[in-house]
Structures are given as C-alpha cells and as structure tokens.
Chains A and B, each alone.
Chain A
C-alpha cells in the first residue's frame, strides 16, 4: 500500500522543528510500524539524507522505549498497543499519517521523535521502591499475599514507563505513572511500612519535574498501552490525604 507520512523533524533540543513529508509506495500490511520507519530510513540514508531518529529496542511492547504520537494519538490508533506492536494492517492504502514526538514540558525533545524521559527515573528514585537491602529477608512464602492483592499489584506494575499517559494528558500530568507505582507497592504487605512516605515523596518529585496536575480527563488510561486503570489515581489521592493527616507514620 501507499502512504504519505508527515514526520516531525527537529535537529536538536534548542532548535525549531517542523513536519516533513515523505511518500512510501511499497508498504506491506504485515510490517510493524517501526519496520515501516526502518524502510523509510534505509531509503533516506541511501539518498544521503538524515534518517528519522526514533527510540526503540525490544519491539515487543515491553521495554517502553518506543513512543510517538500517530495521528494525534500516543502509540497510534490501536488500543492497548505500543507503536512497535502496531502493524500496518491497521492502516489503509492512501492513508496520510502525522507522526510526532511526545509533547510535554517535562519531556524535552532531543531529536526528531526522541524525548528525554529521565524525569520518570527521578520520580522512582524519590520513593518508588521498598527499602530492603540485599540479604537478610524472610523466606518468600513467609509473606503470603492474597491472590487478589497480588493480581492488583501486578496490574499496576505492568507499567512500561513509556510516557504515553503524559503525552495524552492535556495537562501533561504524570499522575497515572506515579499512581501505578504507588498502587503496585501499596497493594502488597511488603510495601506498607513506607506507604505514606512513598506517596508523598513521589508526588513532590512529580511536581518539581514540571508535570501538570490531574484534572480527571482520563485520556491517560485510554492511551496506556498496558491498560493501566485510572482507579489507581483515586487510590493515590486517598493515600496522599492520609499522608497529610498521619505524616509518614503507618498505623496497623
């Protein structure tokens, strides 16, 4: 099939970018979206032009590297699918595609479709963990976890840190990302001792990184390739209120 691509090109963080248009005539419906971009890049290189810079690694929808807005939607038209898992059979012959990077103050563009998402790492560093050190922990089965709690923790832990939630949010909030980690660890007995400290520190870090506030648009859930639920945001807010009341103390 034939496609027209309008791709955001930006040489570096401090220069202006713009859309450039490319024509592809021989796209197979079995290709992945990134393979389609590979084909374009091979052509550009052969023509002596700069290939489009985009981030990718696993191409299996799990590493969270790939991320681009396709026709206005983070990761493109297919629900619960990363750009690398999107296949060209989702498009029609003659389609026109607009491809651009995540746009958010906290994710500055580095080049073309690549943005700097290190703010996410700093949020995790602020408290997205259980502070146990290596060794000296009890036998794994000494901490039974009711299956529903384990499942809930898992559903939240499935976040791949791609940033689509931020890209989708009109306020560029990272609330879903933060809430997912807070819910993952907060659903488990092991995560209780630091529960309130964690939520407070992570939210503070989120704010200081320049992410916006959550005003309940829920675009994040719709864009999330792992289908992480906005319910976790409600839980985060409950924990945050409680943290304001009790400080970092965890009562039984």
Chain B
C-alpha cells in the first residue's frame, strides 16, 4: 500500500499556494467531457458538487435521502471556525492551526491542518455571499463566540442551527447547477459498492430505494462524501441513517482505512431515558460558554439540585482545568464526566449524568439574553425531557458523536485507490485523535469548496482518459455481488430483528471500544463480534423483498457492514498502545488520570489494508513528521 502523502515542499505557510501553482489543470472546454460521481450531499458533497459543476464538469450526485437538503450536516448546531480575527482578540491562521493540531493531540498532519486554517477565512466569505444568515451585531457586522479548546472567539454561528444554514447555502448552490443541467441528481439512491477498473475508481453500484432497482454508474472519478460512522455504537448523536457502508465497501475494494478507532465522545448530550431509546440528542458545546458543569461533592447525594448548597457542589472542570474551565476540549470533558459518575457522584436515573447549570448566567445576563443565544436548544431539551432548563439545570452525559477516523487520503484528498477521493467526515484528514468544536463544518466546506476543485483537476489531467462503460465485466461482477448480498439478507428469515443486532453491537462497542478501552476488553470484543456477525447472517429477519421500498432491508445492509467494521475499530484500538485524544487506553494514563501519549512509538497514522475475507487486515504506518510545532503534553490546566 503506497502511503505517499504528497505533502508539498517548502515552508508551511507557502505549501498550499505553491502546490496550487504546480497542479495540472483541465482546460475549460475539456471539463465537460469528464464525468464525476459525487456520493453524499452534506456540506462536503454539496459544496464539491456545486463547485465542480460551476467549473464545467459533468457531475452526478447521489444520496439516499429524498432531498440533498436532509444530509446529516443539517443537524450541526453550534458553529463554524474561521481565523478571521474580527474580534481582534489575537487570532490568526497560525493560532487556529496550532489549536487544531494540539486539540487533535498531535496525531494529524501539519500541512493539512495549516491549509484548513488558511482557507477557513474564504469559507465565511463564500457563505455570506450565498446569503447564509450568520449572527450579527447591531453594527451589521458578524458576531463570534468561543468554543472548546480555544481561548479566542472565532466561531461564526447562525443561532443554534449553523449546520442547517450552511447546508442550505450549499444545497441551493447545488440546485442552481441542477437547474443549469450541469448536475444530474439521484435522490433515494444508495451506493452499495465501488467499481475499480485497472486500479482506478471508475464507478459505483447503487440501489434505488423506491423501486429496488440496482444500477451501474461509470465515471472518471468518484468522490465519497458520505459522513461519519458513529452509529456503530447504535446510540449516537448522528442521524439514524448515517452509516459506514460507502467507505467500508471502498476499503474492501482496496482503499486504506485510517485510524478507525479515533472516535469522539461528546460531553454534552441528553442522557438516555429507557430501553426503547433510538438515538441521543446533542446539546451544543456552545452552551458551555454560559453553562457551568457540576455534580454533588458527595457520592450518593440524591437531593434535587436546587437544594444542594454552593459549597457542596463540585464544579469539577473549573477545578481541574482552571484556564479552560467549562470550555475544556471534548475528550477531556467527557472523561472527566465519566470519572465523576464512576465515583458515584452522577445525577439522574442510573447516576449517568452531570448538571449543566445556567442559573449564574441567567442572573448575570438575564433570561432574555440566554434565550436569544440558546432558545432553540432549551426548547429542544424541554421537549425531550419534560424539564425546563431555565429553572432546573440540564442533565447531560457523554455520547458518541463524531469519527475522526476514515479513509486515508493524501494531501490531494485522494485515497489509496487512484481516482477515489474522500471528503468531509468520511476521510481521516485533519482532526487527529480529537476534533475541536466547530471544525467539522469548516473541514467539510474547505474540502468541497476550496480543495477538491483544484486537486481533482490535477488527477484528471495527470492520467490518460480511460473510456469505461458500464458494460465492463467488472461492473457486472460487482453488481452481482451486491445483489447476492441483498438476496441473502432477505432469504435468511431468522428470528431476530436487525435492530436487536444493532443494539447489541452498539452496547458491545460502547462497553469495550467507547470512552475508555483496555487490551482485555478489546480482546473480548474481538471474540464476540465475529460470533454476533455469524448469528446475524443465520438468524436475522428482514421483512419484505428487494424489489420495493424496503427500509428494513436498507437497514440490514448497513448493520451487516457495521458488524464487520466494528472489528477493524477494535483491532486499531488494540494496536495503539497509548492514550491520545478520544482514544483512552486505561493502561496508559498519568497518575492523575490524564491521557499518556507515546510519541516515540505511536506518532503515526494507522492505515489498514483489506486482505480478503476472514483474513486479518494488514497494518501500514504513515509516520507523522512535525517540523513546525513542538510536541507537548496537551495541558488545559
């Protein structure tokens, strides 16, 4: 497996500009001869598709949703970072770069992260020009707020619905290109597999979710913008349909999978309320700007929160991490919450919760200001729990939220399969072992608006154009495999529902590959996952047939892939014998319980290669070289 990261030479600050100057171009007249298949219409996919179509490429876009506007990006709440330094509080491209690389616990590439910080400023310009209604001050200028892991205010936001507004901007740009007939839109069309011909990604196999028709699509390049895989845990903050299939299938066709075990557990989610729980709801990190997190000082204190006097409360984040306090990064805040709950100081049902308390902020700023800032989040909390957070503190608990791991890509966002590019949460590129808040939206749009439009042209111009049609025998073969899988699922007619398997897998992953991990636990999981998978194929019951709208069958296909992928995650977590960012191995911690990184042995990207059914995947390593930052212990104290 060739892991040439193609990082351009030269000083960090000049790499991207120089690279752009050196990339090959496709002439305007030739662009329309190239057909580009874009899978996914989240921030990454929609921005890429719109921009490539504007440039003149013949773009085909696929999504399993009924409309591109439903992609999971729509649910992002808090905001998007950019090094604009409008508040004049000392921000800069360098500082955003440094915060991000440190936030990722020094497990990402310097050059990628620097480029991300560099183009962040263009993103805001672009979105404003499209009409994204960001929050403004009375002057008419843009407002900012702060997010975890930063000491400056660089987060742009649109109330608590930033993802929605950014996605609508990109979606509208995409629909404009549909109207101009530069984009062919395939909705309710799920990618089942990737077609690789002569070593290049040349097409995909899809299933139409209304008719069940299986179709072949050939193209000159494929872009996967298919989002993250937190739903491997069953309960997560992701939308119910988010899944790993597209990137996992690509992995099985030869794309390296990088750092699969790097998952982010978000500290502020609404705790589950019962067995029927279907997903978890995030309460945006922005709430930590004004909310204070605490638990009772004494274990087993069951008094209602307002009866617990100030001196018997432990504002543990402010106590443990005084310089960042309630705005400590996510991995740190999540683990701290787990620790206090493990000590028996958790609140609410089962002791799985901590308070997020706004009473001080309401006293200081007034209820109106708090309502202006977080009204919709408070409303959402009240709907779900039946409690009024203006009067009783919120109860929150960590939940799986984001996956830093994903398909390995080089500096050009190309995977180890030439022609297969991966954007947004689906790739592994910029967040290392932990992502800072408000930087996923930034990355998705950076990839789609400002990076792929340059690098894709370079790929297309560097290889002789291969005329591939869907009659190629490889299309035939891959289609038959996809069809056979679906038929097997429908034919199993066992006794357990798909959801029961997903739930069981999720619990296993949460227990053994969740917020803290041990070698023993991971080995247990590695024994139990194959057994569960075997039972799945024997005993799953999928209703209906493949020739109709069948949500149960769609779900079964996705869970089948999670059941394989989960094993890869555990293998990765097992080999990484250190703690870093969201990956916490109990064996590797400092005396006061902080993550103990091992830069000598583990400063690398772990890239897994598929070697065949029932064979162990092969591990490759891309060493991470740091020329501009000093690797330090990540302290937020």
8 Å CB contact of A38 from B130, B276, B449: B276
Contact A58 B383 (CB under 8 A): no
In the assembled complex, B384 has its CB within 8 A of some CB on chain A:
yes
Would you give the shortest CB distance from A195 to chain B, in whole angstroms? 12
CB-CB under 8 A for A135 and B122, given A51-B552, A63-B70, A63-B75? yes
Residues of B within 8 A of A133 (CB): 51, 54
Q: Are B499 and A38 in contact (CB under 8 A)?
A: yes
Cβ-defined partner of B239 (8 Å) among A59, A89, A147, A184: A59
Which residues between 143 and 161 of chain B lie within 8 Å of chain A, taking CB atoms? 158-159, 161
Minimal beta-carbon separation of A250 from chain B (angstroms): 15
Chain B interface, number of residues (Cβ within 8 angstroms)? 79
The stretch of B175-183, B320-328, B515-523, B600-608 that contacts the partner chain: B175-183
Q: Which A residues touch B217, using CB under 8 A?
A: none
The answer to whether B136 has its CB under 8 Å from any CB of chain A is yes
Measured between beta carbons, the chain B residues less than 8 angstroms from A51 are 543, 551-552
B residues 168-187 near A (Cβ < 8 Å) are 168, 171-173, 175-176, 178-179, 185, 187
Query: B12 at the A/B interface (Cβ < 8 Å)?
Result: no
Interface contact B551-A134, CB-CB below 8 Å: no
Q: Could you tell me the distance between the alpha carbons of A234 and B72 in the complex, rounded to whole angstroms?
A: 33
Which among A64, A116, A131, A184 is the interface contact of B70 at CB below 8 angstroms? A64
Docked pose: A114 CA to B209 CA in angstroms? 12
For residue A79, give the distance in angstroms from its CB to the closest CB of chain B: 11
Q: Is the interface of A mostly helix, strand, loop or mixed?
A: loop
Interface bits B65-89 vs A (CB < 8 Å: 1, else 0): 1111110101100000000101000
B477, CB-defined interface residue at 8 Å: no
Check B164 for interface membership: any CB of A closer than 8 A: yes
B142, A140: Cβ atoms closer than 8 Å: yes
The yes or no answer to B273 lying at the interface (CB within 8 A) is yes
Say if the beta carbon of A57 comes within 8 Å of chain B.
yes
Residues of A within 8 A of B497 (CB): 42, 45-46
Q: Which B residues touch A12, using CB under 8 A?
A: 548-549
Once the chains bind, are A65 and B449 in contact (CB under 8 Å)? no
| A150 and B135 in contact, given A59-B279, A62-B75 (Cβ under 8 angstroms) | yes
| Inter-subunit contact B130/A64 (CB<8 Å) | no
A90, chain B: closest CB distance, angstroms: 10
Instruction: Report the Cα distance A22→B100, complex, angstroms.
Output: 52
* Interface membership of A252, Cβ < 8 A: no
* A60 partner residues in chain B, CB cutoff 8 A: 75, 281-282, 380
Number of A-B contacts (CB under 8 A): 214
Instruction: Specify the chain B residue showing the minimal Cβ separation from A128.
Output: B172
Is A244's beta carbon under 8 Å from chain B?
no
A124 touches B175 (CB 8 A): yes
Is B241 interfacial (CB 8 A cutoff)?
yes
Q: Give complex CA distance A117, B549 in Å.
A: 16
The answer to the question of B612 belonging to the interface, with a C-beta cut-off of 8 Å to chain A, is: no
Surface stretch bound by B, among A27-35, A166-174, A210-218: A27-35
A interface residue count range (under 10 / 10 to 19 / 20 to 34 / 35 or more) = 35 or more
Contacts of B541 in A (CB 8 A): 45-46, 48
Which among A96-104, A154-162, A235-243 touches the partner chain?
A154-162
Residue of B nearest to A154 (CB): B133
Which residue of the partner chain, among A34, A50, A147, contacts B138 with CB atoms under 8 Å?
A: A147
Query: Do residues B277 and A35 form an inter-chain contact, with CB atoms below 8 A?
Result: yes
CB distance from B252 to the nearest CB of A (A): 26
Asked if B625 is at the interface of the complex by the 8 Å CB criterion, the answer is no
Q: Mark B118-134, 1 if CB is under 8 A from A, else 0.
A: 00001011111111011
Q: Given A63-B239, A118-B187, A147-B140, A138 and B133 touching (CB < 8 A)? A: no
Digitize B200-239: 1 where CB-to-A-CB distance is under 8 Å, 0 elsewhere: 0000000000100000000000000000000000000001
Cβ-defined contact, B54 with A134, below 8 A: yes
Q: Which of A39, A121, A143 contacts B128 (CB 8 A)?
A: A143
Binary B-proximity of A148-191 (CB < 8 A = 1, otherwise 0): 00100110011011000000000000000000000011001011
Interchain CA distance A145-B131 in the complex, whole Å: 10
Residues of B contacting A157 in the complex (Cβ-Cβ under 8 angstroms): 133, 158, 165, 168
Pairwise interchain contact A35-B278, C-beta atoms closer than 8 A: yes
**What are the residues of chain A within 8 A of B122 when measuring CB–CB?**
135
Across the A-B interface, the 8 shortest Cβ-Cβ residue pairs: A144-B140, A129-B172, A137-B129, A154-B133, A125-B179, A125-B175, A140-B128, A57-B239
Given A11-B548, A190-B130, output 17 extra A-B contacts at Cβ < 8 Å: A35-B277, A35-B278, A42-B500, A46-B497, A58-B70, A59-B281, A60-B380, A62-B75, A125-B178, A125-B179, A132-B126, A132-B129, A134-B126, A140-B124, A141-B84, A144-B139, A147-B140
20 A-B pairs (CB sep. < 8 Å): A28-B274, A36-B276, A42-B499, A57-B65, A59-B279, A59-B281, A60-B282, A63-B70, A116-B66, A118-B66, A129-B175, A134-B47, A134-B450, A137-B129, A139-B125, A140-B142, A145-B136, A146-B136, A157-B165, A158-B164
